[in-house]
Structure 1
């Protein structure tokens, strides 16, 4: 998520090559000054840990106002009015009172609502939600998911959700890209992928989900472990764990091919003749 807005270096990461296309422009070619005009205004990020994402020494209302004043150039009074209205839309009770509170005075769920308000404050074209419910308890997770569902339905922004929770994907998303070891292995509509997974990894993921209407003596699991980023295998990265692996998978990495309308999979089983040719 941080790579998209060119903040990965602050986490010790590095973008080595490739491109990040947004609005027909490569963000990697943008200067830091140009990116400052994009972050928050055109692309915003909802981070996964609300406990550490807010500045503890500033009131939460002022943290919402900061983005509004920077990008919309509004005076404090006008920005405050927008901030309070955003807090109300986020389902925050007594928003005028909460505006003056500090992060440590709020619960985890309330902090996450503040972060979402900050992300939406400038009506960005793209909102990246990076595991937005991971640090919350189950009850609060359900409330935040419900809030997201309403925002996705009514907001003008596109939402990119990064999550390991397939239940959240099924509930909130229209399309999905399944990633393994840094590569997209399958993408398409949520309905098609959940009802008819094609890539062995996608199949394994869905089989791992316990089914409430069926008795299971043991949970299904994908054998092996995810490779370390410094030690990816040659060829297909899922090869060591794949029950359908063939000799070609050991030396060559399959690219995404379209097997149906807007349905893509990276697996040699779906190439012509099944041999990658």
Structure 2
């Protein structure tokens, strides 16, 4: 499977990977705890170990989207690492409290269904113990996300707006770039802006779609929109820009929004906020 095939189904693969990751983690943790207590003298039943580890891992999985949201709000990007790293350190406290609350609620409910009751133990001691584990889990998950992004970026390639050669006047903020420089696995090559079919927001990047190729460009949709030719590209959504020449059909929706069908079969949403602007560019006065 090529990188571009993976990128076309990236969200599906990512959800599947993390679901499998948490499932395997659950089974591994259960096995370790079970073997530690399987000495014939433990007063706990095997199903209890399964519930303990399962509720803990499930609570982590449920909190994982929150971690990603916090990372989007406080990214560890250049110039912000020191400040945002401190923010993430502080966020481990509510993260741990939510994790503990979630797993205790689930365990209490399961034990109630079994006709028993769940005792979390000495709350101050247990909370401190759980925080130490959650601190490590938070750091491990966040580090894994950044490692994954780094590896994917290296394989996918990263685009940047091509600057003028030395000795020439630099490109102004409102100049229209014609080419993009793409760095991929130590190599560099050029792509034409006119080949960009559509653009989507992706965290600290915008993804440029050129046929079946996808190249990330560091920046925001607003800044990129300022650099693109408004006669060729149009903003149709908070997270999408499309090239007018690649629009095959516009499908109105009952909600007042719309849906664009591109020539390659890809569908892009159009929000009501941008419908009039799109219509004006398609049918100029």
TM-score range (shorter-chain normalised) is: under 0.3
Task: Considering fraction of residues, name the structure with more helix.
Answer: 2
- Which protein, 1 or 2, shows the higher relative CO under an 8 Å CA cutoff with sep ≥ 6? 1
**Greater percentage in strand:** 2
The structure number with the bigger radius of gyration is: 2
